[in-house]
Structure 1
Amino acid sequence: MRKIFTLIVSSLLLIGVSFVFLYIISSMYSPQADHVPLLNDKRVISPEVENYRPIIAKYAKANGIAQYTDLIMAIAMQESKGRALDVMQASESQGLPKDTITKPETSIRVGTQYFKKALRKADGDVSLAIQSYNFGLGFSDYVKTHGGKYTPQLAQQFSKEKAKELKWESYGDPDYVNHVMRYYTNEKQKREMAKKNN
């Protein structure tokens, strides 16, 4: 009887350890894992957005935010993947209907200027600036009156409150920071891997 009990406990322990091990492995190699860059090529900068690099770099430099060139490219990737004329979906930041801007360079110029405003309004808090690019600059004011620091929870809360206020089904993308940073981080890792392989 004691041997059977020991055998059952040992088996359950082995099964438990196996499940934990499998969970860790699947988390590491899941397509949803942000730290695994190349399992899904859609998560890196597309050739279409890469083609706009010189223009994005030009306007980032002109606005004194050249150090954010790669981040602005990640925003463009999240916004359009380079497949829309309004590359940075900047029309709405000007109070215009979606896709009013029909020249990619105009979109990049306007979008980069708007991101600079978002950075300034966010006092340099990059995550807050990124989320404000999606929600609008009023999100920075909201954060300042709700603890003063960006959190994903505040983004979710703001999105729900705005949707209710406007009687919309949803408002913006409360996970926008994660979506943009996924492209930014994976592209950076892709380049580092390419350097090592050369």
Structure 2
Amino acid sequence: MKKLLVWIVSMLTLIGFSYLLLFIISSKFSPAADHVPFLNDDRVISQKIEAYRPVFKKYARVYGLENKTDLLMAMAMQESKGNSVDVMQASESQGLPRDSIKDPTESIAAGTKYFRKSLDQSNGDVRLALQSYNFGIGFTDYVRAHGGQYSQALADQFAKKKAAEFGWRSYGDPHYVSHVLRYYYNEKEKQAIAKKSDS
């Protein structure tokens, strides 16, 4: 009886360890594993972007977006991951060629200002404002003309329409909203976990 009990405990331990191992592997490599920030460090705000936090805070305050600092930083992650001096890829929002801005502070200031404009045009709809940051504010007008409510389907339609107009293979990132929010929510989860471990 004792041997049987030991065998059952051993088997349960082995099965439990196997499940844990499979969870870690799938969390690390699955594109859908956006909910495991510590196993997916590339899906949270990087140290490169984190270094600009004081600058993001400053311009978030200037443009009345104090509660959107982490969101702005998540946008910067999607735009450049901190690998470009035009951190927020804001050159085109200024009517300039891509990567014309050569100063990270200028990029953050311009990107934050443009997001504020997108948010105002979107009547505070964050998802619409995010997609408009990527597509251009003309997307807001397109959504208004097609029911007034942001949806993934409208983002896909708009991207196809603009690509056809310009004769391009693609236009912008129609999944920009989910890509940015992936960084944002994982960062929030990381901060919450860190806060719990500190208390």
- 1:194 deviates by 1.2
RMSD: 1.4
1:167 aligns with 2:142: no
What residue identity is the alignment partner of 1:109?
Answer: A
Please say if residues 134 and 173 of structure 1, whose CA atoms lie closer than 8 Å, have aligned partners that are also in contact.
yes
CA distance in 2, matches of 1:77, 1:55: 15
User: Offset at 1:31?
Assistant: 4.7
What are the equivalent positions in structure 2 for 1:1-198 lying under 5 Å apart?
29=27, 30-198=30-198
Query: What's the CA shift for 1:133?
Result: 0.5
Q: Is the 8 Å Cα contact of residues 44 and 184 (structure 1) preserved in structure 2?
A: yes
| Counterpart residue type for residue 187 of structure 1 | E
Distance 1:195 1:65 in 2: 23
Partner of 2:132, secondary structure, is: helix
Tell me how far 1:32 sits from its aligned partner: 1.7
Q: Distance in 1 between matches of 2:189 and 2:156?
A: 28
The alignment's TM-score, normalised by the length of structure 2, stands at 0.84
Q: Is the 8 A contact 1:31 1:39 kept in 2?
A: no
- The unaligned stretches of length 5 or more in structure 2 are 1-22
The CA deviation at 1:37 is 2.4
Unaligned runs of 5+ in 1: 1-24
What fraction of aligned residue pairs are identical, expressed as a percent? 61
- Which aligned segments of 4 or more residues in structure 1 are displaced greater than 2 angstroms? 28-31, 33-39
Deviations 1:142-179 (A, max 9, x none): 00011101001110110000000111110000000000
Tell me, in whole angstroms, the C-alpha distance in 1 between the residues paired with 2:183 and 2:155: 19
CA–CA separation in structure 2 for the residues paired with 1:57 and 1:195: 20
Count of aligned residue pairs for this structure pair:
173
Distance in 2, matches of 1:35 and 1:139, equals 29
1:42 and 1:34 map into 2 onto residues whose CA distance is 10
Structure 1 residue 38 displacement after superposition? 2.5
2:122 counterpart letter in structure 1:
A
User: Structure 1 length normalisation: TM-score?
Assistant: 0.84
